[in-house]
Amino acid sequence: MITRVSSITLEVPDIESSIGFFEEHIGLTVTERTGDRAYLRARSVHHDLVLVASQSGATSLHTLNFESDDVASDVARAVAAGAKDHGPIDHAGVDTAHLLEAPGEIGLLIHSTLQTVDAAPALRLAQPAHFSHFNIGTPDPASLIRFFVDLGMRNSDWIGSVEEPLIGWLHCPVDGALHHGVAVLRSPDTRLHHISYEYDTTEQIVDRVDNFVDDTHFLVWGMGRHGTGGSIFAYMNDVSGVMVELGTGMIRIGQDPRWNGPQVWPLDDPRGVDEWGSSVPDAWMAQRVDVSSPATLRIEA
């Protein structure tokens, strides 16, 4: 069973600058570096982000990373749902990891439980609690949502309709799971849209935003409160072109009275995207990071 959406693996053109951004503005800490990779953690699991130094000078998504309590069964489930199997690989911080290719040439890493490490050192500003979710764009969101359901994820909400969603959200099949660990967005091509980290309080996000904004750096969107998921949000761009959401207060499935089961939000209901009334900025919709086919990846640990 998929128990958690744990992180992503991201190839970046300047790994030192990317590490600096995630340390200074998100609050992550480097756990270890192996070869061309850096593993960064929020608190006490081995990593909540993997950065890989680019050989091409471009930013691209390598894999969407899922924690599993039975890797072999979830790999078999993914293959039955239409994924291609690229076999087991080494991956720091876990005992077992398996590389797959989802429809759209999207890389998936299904791995065993992440190791616990020493708590990250206290910082001047708050650290996130953990990785929250990713948002992946595709021309056919309904099909990709079905793939994730077949993998074992469960539907949370849609904007538009179930059959032709603009966005769909899915959660892990465990009590207390975040409202979504996976978001799927309709887009002209396959792309990573954004990633998100969950903080303990709104005040922590305000402090992080104040630390980020200056004469040349501004938020892409926010602050606001999503109707889908109930979280307070702020979106910023990192130095490699990846949009990062800082969130807090997301609904926990089975533990939150705000959760009344999956809901379809009409396209003309602005509360789905922001209960406080803002519209989705064009700059938010236009975000994109290319997706690298798993067949082309350098898959060393």
pLDDT tens-digit map of 126-157: 999 999 999 999 999 999 999 999 999 999 99
pLDDT at 300 over 80: no
According to DSSP, the β-strands at 221-225 and 232-237 are antiparallel
For 206-219, what is the mean pLDDT?
A: 96
Percent share of the chain, pLDDT over 70: 98
- The token pair at 292 is 């690298």
User: Residue 259: pLDDT band by 50, 70, 90 thresholds?
Assistant: confident
pLDDT at 75 over 60: yes
For 230-257, what is the mean pLDDT?
A: 96
Spatial strand order in the sheet of 243-248: 221-225, 232-237, 243-248, 191-199, 130-138, 182-186, 167-171, 154-159, 263-265
For the chain, give the mean pLDDT. Answer: 95
Of 250, 244, 245, 258, nearest to 231 by C-alpha is: 250
CA distance 141 to 155: 13
User: Residue 301: pLDDT band by 50, 70, 90 thresholds?
Assistant: very low
pLDDT at 230 over 60: yes
pLDDT digits (tens, 9 = 90+) for 160-173: 999 999 999 999 99
pLDDT at 216 over 60: yes
Fold of domain 130-285: 2,3-Dihydroxybiphenyl 1,2-Dioxygenase; domain 1 (3.10.180)
CA 186 from chain center: how many Å? 16
Percent share of the chain, pLDDT over 90: 90
- For CATH 3.10.180.10, list the domain ranges present in the chain: 2-115+291-296, 130-285
CA distance 240 to 60: 9
Helices (H) then strands (E): counts for the chain? 5, 18
User: Residue 245: pLDDT band by 50, 70, 90 thresholds?
Assistant: very high
Higher per-residue pLDDT: 66 or 268: 66
What pLDDT is recorded for position 190?
Answer: 97
What pLDDT is recorded for position 76?
Answer: 98
> Quick check: helix, strand or coil at residue 257?
coil
What pLDDT is recorded for position 298?
Answer: 52
Backbone angles phi, psi at 286, to 5 degrees: -80, -5
For 116-135, what is the mean pLDDT?
A: 93
pLDDT at 100 over 90: yes
In words, the CATH class of domain 2-115+291-296 is alpha beta
What pLDDT is recorded for position 121?
Answer: 84
User: Residue 55: pLDDT band by 50, 70, 90 thresholds?
Assistant: confident
- Which stretches of the chain are assigned E, i.e. beta strand? 2-12, 29-34, 37-41, 49-53, 60-68, 84-88, 97-102, 106-111, 130-138, 154-159, 167-171, 182-186, 191-199, 221-225, 232-237, 243-248, 263-265, 290-291
CA distance 238 to 25: 9
